[in-house]
Amino acid sequence: MKWSISLLLAVCVLAGGLTRADGVDAKAHAAAVERAVATISEPEARGMVRLLTDPHVAGRGTGSEGFLFAARMMAVRLEELGDEPFYGDSYLQSFNLLGGLQSMNVLGFLPGETRETVVLSAHLDHLGVEYADFDLDPRKLSGYYPGADDNASGVTAVFQVAKAFARIQREEGRLRRSVLVAFWGAEEMGMRGSEALAKRFQQTPSLRVGPADLVFVMNMDMVGRRYEGDDEAPGGRKTVLVIGSPRTRTIEQFAHRNPILARVLTESAQSDPALFLNFDELRQNLRAKNVFEEPKAVWWRFWGVYGRSDSYTFAKMRPGLATLFFCGPEHPDYHEKSDTWEKLDYDRLVRISRLAFRVAFAIAESAVTPICDCKEE
């Protein structure tokens, strides 16, 4: 891969540390960053996952009272952090689905010094409840799908990243770039929540953020379970699957498409030697459960895991937009009633959340915009 002088200079500016070139004391700033990182904790992660998988939430199914409870709870949590509502005075964006169903996204906003925006997201919905037959008789309820890894883990991670952003903004004032926190509805129905926001962006130019203002989208999904690649990771480290472009297998391929983001990611990962970054999107796609039996099997094989993330919604909308998808494997409990809170590795969840914050914060504070060459080769 050839690096131009201008690109190398841009990368150095962005990855040269989590410091700003506007007169901020570097040591004090670095200390503030570490205090923000320290707010991401295992006890809070465990507590939030347990709450999101409680029987009263009933699997967070689209259109259900359980999902509505979870959405309102996350809206309250964002308000407590100090995030502003994205639409008027509401943190909730409702949208309609086929069959008369309605769902909603939960959206919080931290205004920065510019309209340029970093998006942090995870889907909040899951599969809901199961009945003994198809007549939806409440008396025949046979259980619910807790969705601990899918995707209480991702919601918890994004919330803790948002909390770290709120903490450092309280200490140091507004970030250079704005931050939009999004918990999607109806992802399990085909990423309908992220599509609803993308459509709103395009149809409503008066929004405080538009498509042209997006500089980076980070999505988190199923980040709480052990990855089988841990057996192959050097030194017994914990593997995190990192997807930022289609059909990549190595860091070199990732860096070819995402040179700035690759540098920021690898620099940020040095803060935690216990993590091992796996960029093998293609291999993960081939391991996916029932991938060749899916009606859209050709589509899945073409776009792989990259195309199964809500971040892809915005990459389609704005070519060149840099995105990052932290995710994990499709394990035996995937989309099963056995996906329960006690099976998560909370140390892993916290480590990945802290890495996600460092990456997103570096981009939020930089004057350089990462670009992805995500055309299919």
Note the pLDDT tens digit of each residue in 220-235.
Answer: 999 999 876 666 667 7
The pTM score is: 0.88
Tokens 């890894």 — which residue? 149
pLDDT interval class at 291 (50, 70, 90): very low
Domain with residue 272: its CATH number is 3.40.630.10
Query: What is the percentage of the chain residues whose pLDDT exceeds 70?
Result: 82
Residue 4's pLDDT is 41
Q: Determine which helix (DSSP H) or strand (DSSP E) holds 26, and give its type and residue range.
A: helix 26-38
Look at residue 81 and tell me if it is in a domain. Answer: yes
Category of 63 on φ-ψ map: left (φ > 0), alpha (ψ -120 to 50) or beta: left
| Per-residue confidence (pLDDT) for residue 129, from 0 to 100 | 86
Is residue 18 in a domain? no
More confident call, 202 vs 214:
214
* Residue 288 confidence (pLDDT): 47
Could you say which DSSP state residue 323 is in? E
Residue 7 lies inside a defined structural domain of this protein? no
Q: What per-residue confidence (pLDDT) applies to 283?
A: 58
- Has residue 261 got a pLDDT over 70? yes
* Tokens found for residue 29: 């700033």
Q: Is residue 59 part of a domain?
A: yes
Q: Which residues contact 326 (CB under 8 A, 6 or more apart)?
A: 154, 157, 218, 219, 220, 221, 223, 240, 241, 242, 352, 355, 356
Beta bridge partners of 214: 117
CB 161, CB 133: distance < 8 Å: no
Give CA–CA dist 279/248, Å, rounded.
7
175 and 113 Cβ atoms separated by less than 8 Å = yes
Residue 311 in this model has a pLDDT that exceeds 60: yes
- Structural domains counted in the chain: 1
Write down the pLDDT at residue 13. 43
Q: Is residue 100 part of a domain?
A: yes
- The share of the chain scoring above pLDDT 90, in percent, equals 62
258 part of a folded domain? yes
User: Do residues 147 and 155 lie in contact, with contact meaning Cβ atoms separated by under 8 Å?
Assistant: no
Q: Tell whether the model's pLDDT for residue 90 goes beyond 90.
A: yes
Angle at 33 between CA 30 and CA 37, to 5 degrees: 140
- Over residues 50-78, the pLDDT tens digits come to 999 999 899 999 989 999 999 999 999 99
CA dihedral 235, 238, 239, 244 (to 10 degrees): -120
pLDDT of residue 25: 84
Q: Give per-residue pLDDT as tens, 247-260.
A: 788 889 899 999 99
The residue range of the domain holding 141 is 26-364
Closest CA to 325 of 291, 289, 346, 356: 356
Q: Does the structure show a pLDDT above 80 at 201?
A: yes
**Cα dihedral 151, 155, 161, 165 in deg (nearest 10):** 160
CB 239 within 8 A of CB 350: no
- Least Cα distance to 128 among 60, 184, 192 occurs for 60
Is 118:216 a contact under the CB 8 Å cutoff? yes
Residue 346 has pLDDT above 80, yes or no: yes
Q: What is the pLDDT of residues 132-184, one digit of tens each?
A: 444 444 444 558 999 999 999 999 999 999 999 999 999 999 999 999 999 99
Residue 126 near residue 151 (C-beta atoms within 8 A): yes
160 found inside a domain? yes
Residue 294 inside a domain? The answer is: yes
